[in-house]
Amino acid sequence: MVQTRSRVIVIGSGIAGLIAAVEASRNHSVILITKSNLAESNTHYAQGGIAAVVTDDDTVAEHVTDTLVAGAGLCWPEAVNVLCAEGPGRINDLVALGVEFDRQGETFARGLEAAHSHPRILHAGGDATGAGISNALVAAVRATSTEIYEHTFLVDIATEVDADGRKKVIGVHVFDTAGTRFIEADTVILASGGAGQLYRHTTNPAVTTGDGVAAALRAGAVLSDVEFYQFHPTALAVPGSFLISEAVRGEGAVLINAAGERFMKNLHPLAELAPRDIVARGIQAQMMAQGGQPVLLDATALGESFLSERFPSITAACRSYGLNWATAPIPVTPAAHYWMGGVATDSWGRTSIPGLYAVGEVACTGAHGANRLASNSLLESIVFSHRAVSHLGQPWPEDAPAARWGAQGPLLELELTDHLTADAPAATNDADAARRLATQVVDRVELQTMMWDNVGLARTRTELESTLEQIRGWRPADPAHRLFPDWEDANLLLLAQALTQSALARHESRGGHYRLDYPETSPALARPITIARKV
């Protein structure tokens, strides 16, 4: 049934936002807002590919099992089943939209990545999958009637209380060269990605400052699982942390320490293809044992011809740093890569605020649990973007998105202090002025360094509490004088507190959250931690 035509605002131009815009434009008036150019996103830089069951020797049930195992007991089974079952159909949609996946004859070429029981990773242009998908979808969006606002920053999500006393979305406040303005809408679809810029070392591009998650939190939406950040095991140990795809290890490359010894064989039966959190911590332990020096990824056995054809982008990146990975191992280190947590949603992308959807990395659907299975991220984006658009205009359930939480036990809701919110007002009296003199404007590099050191791969109560104390001594710049970077810094500061408070509250180690003072996994804590703004 065709829904009544309404105005839909999509925030973000990665795969989730582009798919949402293409699909929503069929029956609705769509505005797509992105703070950079249309093609700039995490999607564009994705190397490994997209996981889906596309052959008879693999099954959806096995993909589900692999996802649940990687998720370390925190996945929401309903979301996982949706992800894996609807994935093959969404791959066909991408092909119809012009994505050209690599093929072997008449079938898709498939790679193997960590924790997958079958080769099921589709790729394009060797290791340029993200660029191939992004380019095709950008062209598809430009062919629709979608209004595109580039270089436009999401400041806040606007809400009002309806006749039933329930908050609902009415539009967004944005900032561009003309200043701050309001754009009215019936629905807002957040697809603004993660927050890799919280950390000093990240594989993410500069635009990933968590703007959508922060705006949702300020608007009153509930977040979930924000303590779970995935650190990719293998980023090139050079400025910029260039990603070395997991597919390289899937093809046979191995990790060695300074003595030339493979160390992952002693840590997990799958060795280099163990879940990402295990490999990342294994690398960290080796680096600590050898004075902080990077470990080495040895792909020399694969041969120069194969590496150049299968991984042309990585080969070129290595050459740009004077490295020839066909003849010598290359230095690698973990780096922040993907946020499992985000704005809590149900299996249709609906958040706790009617009219506000979240899809892609900005969302927490529960499909990834505590540790995302490799190459499930692009899949989640296309599956849940389609589902969100299919429900536009339908009634909003009273309990969205609480079904997951209710099924897994009691909730722990944390509150945030208002002085760290990005819309904190400028000083208007002596008391306000005194409070601001007691704090300093946040410095992004200091924040990133502190988060890397204290809230990174390994955490302790002492370091987490120290981090919170420092965060409370910082404030965002006054809104009246902000440029894009100032808005970003305000968002990062807010999210740093949310992530750190949630990490402090989880007294166990699970997936991407590792506590040195609570090294074991507690079955009693196999439930989400939710967080909301103090009101």
Q: Quote the CA–CA distance of 473 and 307 in Å, as a whole number.
A: 49
Encode pLDDT of 132-176 as tens digits: 999 999 999 999 999 999 999 999 999 999 888 889 999 999 999
- Mean pLDDT, residues 302-311: 95
- Is 440 exposed, middle or buried, given 0-12, 13-18 or 19+ CB atoms closer than 10 A? exposed
For residue 2, pLDDT over 50 is answered with no
Above pLDDT 70, what percent of the chain? 92
Q: What is the pLDDT of residue 44?
A: 75
Q: What is the pLDDT of residue 151?
A: 96
For residue 193, pLDDT over 90 is answered with yes
For residue 414, pLDDT over 90 is answered with no
Above pLDDT 90, what percent of the chain? 79
| CB burial string 222-236: b at 16+ within 10 A, e below | bbbbbbbbbbbbbbb
For residue 257, pLDDT over 50 is answered with yes
Tell me the backbone φ, ψ of residue 437, rounded to 5 degrees: -65, -25
- Mean pLDDT, residues 354-360: 97
Higher pLDDT, 402 or 485: 485
Residue entry with tokens 């924000």: 226
Q: What is the CATH number of domain 409-533?
A: 1.20.58.100
Per-residue pLDDT band for 410 (boundaries 50, 70, 90) equals: very low
For residue 417, pLDDT over 70 is answered with no
For residue 409, pLDDT over 60 is answered with no
| Rounded CA Rg of the chain | 22
Please enumerate in sequence order all residues whose Cβ is within 8 A of that of 38, keeping only pairs 6 or more positions apart, or say none. Answer: 13, 32, 138, 141, 142, 148, 150
- Which residue of the set 110, 249, 276, 506 is catalytic? 276
Q: What is the pLDDT of residue 532?
A: 87
Per-residue pLDDT band for 430 (boundaries 50, 70, 90) equals: low
For residue 425, pLDDT over 80 is answered with no
For residue 476, pLDDT over 60 is answered with yes
Encode pLDDT of 61-77 as tens digits: 999 999 999 999 999 99
For residue 245, pLDDT over 50 is answered with yes
- Tell me if 236-334 shares its fold with 409-533: no
| Residue boundaries of the structural domains of the chain | 236-334, 409-533
Q: What is the pLDDT of residue 400?
A: 81
276 is catalytic: yes
Q: Quote the CA–CA distance of 222 and 156 in Å, as a whole number.
A: 15
Higher pLDDT, 431 or 466: 466
For residue 428, pLDDT over 90 is answered with no
Residue type present at position 454: N
Say if residue 401 is preceded by a cis peptide, omega within 30 of 0.
yes
* CATH number 3.90.700.10 is the correct assignment for the domain at 236-334: yes
The pLDDT mean for the chain works out to: 91
Q: What is the pLDDT of residue 126?
A: 83
Please enumerate in sequence order all residues whose Cβ is within 8 A of that of 41, keeping only pairs 6 or more positions apart, or say none. Answer: 12, 13, 14, 15, 17, 34, 134, 193, 205, 207
pTM of the full structure:
0.91
Q: Which of 90-94, 313-317, 420-424, 462-466 has the lowest mean pLDDT?
A: 420-424
Higher pLDDT, 88 or 276: 88
User: Which residues pair with residue 403 across a beta bridge?
Assistant: none
Q: Which of 29-43, 362-376, 452-466, 493-507 has the lowest mean pLDDT?
A: 29-43
Q: Quote the CA–CA distance of 343 and 362 in Å, as a whole number.
A: 6
For residue 434, pLDDT over 90 is answered with no
Local structure of residue 523 (DSSP, 8 states) = G
Q: What is the pLDDT of residue 165?
A: 86
